[in-house]
Every structure is written in structure tokens, then in C-alpha cells.
């Protein structure tokens, strides 16, 4: 550990010399604070953003720094928040004046006053984010750590600088952030802090859905998402914005027959898929693949518990859920819907692999067939080693069969070789129902393997089928 708690080696990035010089010229007390300092001690590499706090005007400091930099970058000023931002190389630097904050009950937007560095550290969310390094000439690189955040980093603890009830009630998004850091860094949330999150869970309702989802997506992208998902569930935060998921929890027993706990099964599936992909939307598909099971659950005396149509129901719920959470309603949502809708198909196929069933699966999944297979493999959570091995072997067979069918029949995203225009021209038709009937018949014949996916066979098939419909070649 460096002598006198100075960490000059943390400040080797050239931007710090410029900031220090500008601060000296303006006689402004200046520090780098927050994530940059935390990540330096965690040896997490150079972050893409750096937070600078000045005891005075952060905007004035930003403008002075920009004048010293070789390319004189444009300074973005956010007067409402008293902050300014500039880019230097691939790093974004945000400047803010030291401040103290007070909150009212209904909003997470604070009343802000100018303050000291201590005031600014007091308002930080966690002790590990309140660490500051001096950029002042007199003590360049000195660590200011009033809440023993360095010890918390070493002990892997998430703790608030002040009373956690006040910290979380003031800005409830901090509850999501606490769990996000715990999940990302594999840190433990200090007990009192965790209890305070549970006590203040209903305060999350004042936070916009967009901001909740930003934090939630970071939890979903952590190495083992179930760490964060379980904490969200344990503290009652999850049900505030994802009740469709928490309603899967529980095991019912009727006449000695039980079903598995679909909530904990889902968390296992998310972890499984996270070992194989960083694709956020495929992880979302894993999270939502069984959400249709709660509303479709029934007990049948002859066969036990059933969840008929849960994939169809779940895919419909995806749209409602994305809309409510202000998530993108574009191709990303459609991808998740498709994965949920098709999630059981390869599992059914694995026991009876026929060419026609494979062709239909490849046709319906299109370019997402590999993602679908990855999801289905992640869905195997049985603890029986023999069953586990058998399922995976079956899926290997399905994957091989997909490859063979693909190479032979080219049905991925295929357009039937006969177009509607050609049908109209051949039989001298205006737009009518028969055109759709013929196109569907050709598509079905290809998928069933009756004819090859090529023009000559499809054309001959069309003439034969048209005859049955009473259509004559023009």
C-alpha cells in the first residue's frame, strides 16, 4: 500500500494532469470520485466514464479543462443539474460541483445546495462509491475515505454511508443499484442495508420503469443473474415490477401429485443460458419462457398437473409486459415472443425426430433456430444424471438433424418457389382466395417432404392441386 494513503499510480491517465492544472488555475478544490476510484481498487480496468467533483462550479472547471485539451472538445452543459460533460479520447468525463441534497416524499429528484466534499460523499449511494482521490497539487493522489469504503471493498460488502432507510427512501433506485452491484461484483449487502431495502420496497413505485429496467438489465447481464434475481425476490422488489415472474413461485399438491416450482426452475434456466451467451434478449427469453404457466395451470385427475398452451399464453404476455415496463416493442420484443412461443417444440421433437417436424421447426424459427436450441438446452434442470445425459444426447440428435435438413431442403426463411403473381398469370386470376390456398398447399407439401423446395416440382404440384380446385391453365 502506498505511503500516506496516496495513490498517484491510479491517476496516470493524461486527463488528470489537465484537470489538476485547470483546478489550480481556478483555485478549485477538485477530486475524482465514485466508480473510477472503486474500479481502480478492484483492478477492473479503465472505465469509460470518470466523475469529477469540484468544491465550486463543476461547469466552470469543465470549460477550463476543455480549453487546455489539444482538441478543445465541446462541453455539454446541463444547467438544471449543475453538471457538464466532455469526451477525451474514448473516455467520458462528467464534472459536478460538490453538493448536499434533501428530498421530499414523492420524488427522487433532490433539492440541491452547494456543499463541501464531505457533503458530496454523504449523498453517495454506497461507501464503495464514496471513495475520492485528490487532484489538487498539494496532495495529488490522496485518498479521502470517510466511511471506510476501502475496507468494505476488501470485505466485499455493500453498505450505505448514512442510515440505509434514509438513503433508500430518498432515492429508491439505490435499492436496485445495491442488488446490481451485489450481483455484478459478487459482494454481500450488509444485513441492516438488506433489511432496509425490504422495508422500503414499496418506494420503488415512484421510480420510472425505464430507470428500473436499466438496472435490471445490468443484473440480467451479470455472470450469475440468479444472485441478483433472488435478492430482488427476497426483498419484495421483484413483485413491484415483474409480478408475472413471482407468481410462478410455489408448489401445489393435489391427491399426492406435485408440480415443480417454476420460479426457481426459471432462475436455473437463466443461469444455464448465461454460461453460453451474453445476449441480453436471449436471457430475457429464458426469464420469461414459463410465464404462461401460472395462468394456464390446471389439475387433471387422470394425468395430474397440466399447463396446456402456456407457450402461446406466455408469448402474448411478453408484449403486455414489455409495454408496461417501457421496453422496446421492436424486433427485440418479437424475438423474445418467438423464443417463448417455440420454447417447447424442440423438447417434444427430441423424443420423435422426423424430417417434417424438423423442417417445420426450422421454417418457424428461421435465423433464430440456434438461439432456440440454446434456450431448450438451458431448460434442462433435472438433477437426475441419467435423464440429464439423455436429454442432452437427444438435443444433439436434433441439432444434427437440423443441419442435415438445412443442407438438403434449404427451408430456413424460405419463400416458396411459386409466387402469387405466377399463380395469377398461370390461371388468369385476379386477387382471390384460391391464390392463398395454392401458396399454402405448396408450402405444406415442401415442409411435409412431399416435394423438394425447387421450382419444377413445385410447379408440377401447383398444376395438380389447381386442377382439384377447378382452375385451368391459361
Question: Which CATH number does 161-241 carry?
Answer: 1.10.110.30
Q: Which residues fall within 8 angstroms of residue 168, CB to CB, at 6 or more apart?
A: 160, 174, 175, 196, 197, 200, 203
User: With bands split at pLDDT 50, 70 and 90, how would you rate the model's confidence at 101?
Assistant: low
Pair 271, 224: CB distance under 8 Å: yes
Please tell me the distance from the alpha carbon of residue 413 to that of residue 401, in angstroms, as a whole number. Answer: 17
* DSSP assignment of 156-196: TEE--SS-HHHHHHH-THHHHHHHHHHHHHTPEEPHHHHHH
**Termini Cα distance of the chain:** 90
Please tell me the distance from the alpha carbon of residue 121 to that of residue 26, in angstroms, as a whole number. Answer: 22
**What residues does each domain of the chain span?**
3-155, 161-241, 420-468
Query: Could you report the per-residue pLDDT of 273-321, keeping only the tens digit for each?
Result: 999 999 999 999 999 999 999 999 888 877 787 788 899 999 999 999 9
* 3 pLDDT above the threshold of 60: no
Pair 125, 178: CB distance under 8 Å: yes
* DSSP assignment of 78-101: EGGGTEEEEEETTEEEEEEE-EEE
Please give the helix or strand (H or E) that residue 132 lies within, else none. strand 132-134
* 5 pLDDT above the threshold of 80: no
Mean pLDDT of 59-70: 97
10 Å Cβ neighbour count for 468?
Answer: 8
Helix axes 355-365, 369-378, angle to 10 degrees: 110
Q: Is the pTM of this model over 0.85?
A: yes
Half-sphere exposure of 98 (CA within 13 A, CB side): 19
For cell 464503495, the residue is: 128
* 400 pLDDT above the threshold of 50: yes
Predicted pLDDT of residue 264: 96
Please tell me the distance from the alpha carbon of residue 222 to that of residue 275, in angstroms, as a whole number. Answer: 10
Predicted pLDDT of residue 102: 62
Do the domains 3-155 and 161-241 sit in the same CATH topology, yes or no?
Answer: no
Mean pLDDT of 316-342: 97
Nearest to 93 by CA among 61, 71, 117, 130: 61
Predicted pLDDT of residue 105: 66
Query: Could you report the per-residue pLDDT of 422-456, keeping only the tens digit for each?
Result: 999 999 889 889 888 998 898 888 888 888 888 99
Is domain 3-155 annotated with CATH 3.30.460.10? yes
Predicted pLDDT of residue 1: 34
Beta strands, E only, 222-322: 253-254, 257-258, 298-300, 304-306
Please tell me the distance from the alpha carbon of residue 442 to that of residue 431, in angstroms, as a whole number. Answer: 18
Pair 210, 255: CB distance under 8 Å: no
Pair 288, 321: CB distance under 8 Å: yes
Pair 204, 235: CB distance under 8 Å: no
* 213 pLDDT above the threshold of 80: yes
Amino acid at each position: 500500500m502506498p505511503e500516506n494513503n496516496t495513490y498517484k499510480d491510479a491517476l496516470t491517465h493524461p486527463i488528470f494532469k489537465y484537470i489538476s492544472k485547470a483546478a489550480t488555475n481556478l483555485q478549485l478544490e477538485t477530486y475524482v470520485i465514485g466508480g473510477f476510484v472503486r474500479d481502480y481498487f478492484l483492478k477492473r480496468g479503465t472505465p469509460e466514464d470518470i466523475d469529477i467533483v469540484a468544491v465550486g462550479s463543476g461547469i466552470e472547471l469543465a470549460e477550463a479543462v476543455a480549453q487546455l485539451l489539444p482538441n478543445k472538445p465541446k462541453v455539454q452543459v446541463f444547467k438544471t443539474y449543475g453538471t457538464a460533460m466532455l469526451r477525451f479520447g474514448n473516455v467520458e468525463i462528467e464534472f459536478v460541483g460538490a453538493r448536499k441534497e434533501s428530498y421530499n416524499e414523492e420524488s427522487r429528484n433532490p433539492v440541491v445546495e452547494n456543499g463541501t466534499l464531505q457533503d458530496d460523499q454523504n449523498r453517495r449511494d454506497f461507501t464503495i462509491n464514496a471513495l475520492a482521490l485528490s487532484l489538487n497539487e498539494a496532495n495529488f493522489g490522496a485518498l479521502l475515505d470517510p466511511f471506510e469504503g476501502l475496507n468494505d471493498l476488501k470485505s466485499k460488502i455493500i453498505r450505505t454511508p448514512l442510515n440505509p432507510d434514509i438513503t433508500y427512501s430518498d432515492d429508491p433506485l439505490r435499492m436496485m443499484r445495491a442488488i446490481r452491484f451485489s450481483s455484478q461484483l459478487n459482494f454481500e449487502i450488509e444485513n441492516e442495508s438488506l433489511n432496509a431495502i425490504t422495508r422500503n420496497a414499496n418506494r420503488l413505485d415512484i421510480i420510472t420503469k425505464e430507470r428500473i429496467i436499466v438496472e435490471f438489465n445490468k443484473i440480467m447481464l451479470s455472470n450469475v443473474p440468479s444472485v441478483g434475481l433472488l435478492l430482488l425476490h427476497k426483498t419484495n422488489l421483484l413483485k413491484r415490477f415483474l409480478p408475472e415472474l413471482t407468481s410462478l413461485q410455489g408448489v401445489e399438491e393435489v391427491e399426492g401429485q406435485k408440480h415443480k416450482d417454476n420460479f426457481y426452475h426459471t432462475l436455473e434456466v437463466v443461469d444455464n443460458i448465461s454460461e453460453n451467451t451474453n445476449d441480453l434478449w436471449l436471457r430475457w427469453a429464458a426469464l420469461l419462457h414459463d410465464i404462461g404457466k401460472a395462468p394456464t395451470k390446471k389439475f387433471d385427475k387422470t394425468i395430474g398437473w397440466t399447463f396446456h398452451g402456456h407457450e402461446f399464453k406466455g408469448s402474448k404476455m411478453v408484449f403486455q409486459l414489455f409495454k408496461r415496463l417501457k421496453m422496446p416493442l421492436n424486433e427485440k420484443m418479437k424475438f423474445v415472443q418467438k423464443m417463448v412461443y417455440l420454447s417447447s417444440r424442440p423438447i417434444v421433437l427430441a423424443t420423435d425426430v422426423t424430417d417434417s417436424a424438423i423442417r417445420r421447426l426450422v421454417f418457424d424459427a428461421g435465423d433464430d433456430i440456434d438461439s432456440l436450441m440454446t434456450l431448450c438446452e438451458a431448460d434442462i434442470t433435472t438433477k437426475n444424471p441419467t435423464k440429464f445425459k439423455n436429454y442432452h444426447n437427444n438435443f444433439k440428435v436434433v441439432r444434427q438433424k437440423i443441419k442435415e435438413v438445412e443442407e438438403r431442403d434449404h427451408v430456413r426463411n424460405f419463400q416458396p418457389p411459386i409466387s402469387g403473381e405466377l399463380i395469377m398469370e398461370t390461371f388468369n386470376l385476379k386477387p382471390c382466395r384460391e391464390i392463398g390456398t395454392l401458396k399454402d398447399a405448396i408450402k405444406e407439401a415442401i415442409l411435409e417432404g412431399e416435394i423438394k423446395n425447387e421450382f419444377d416440382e413445385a410447379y408440377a404440384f401447383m398444376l395438380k392441386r389447381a386442377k382439384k380446385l377447378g382452375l385451368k391453365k391459361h
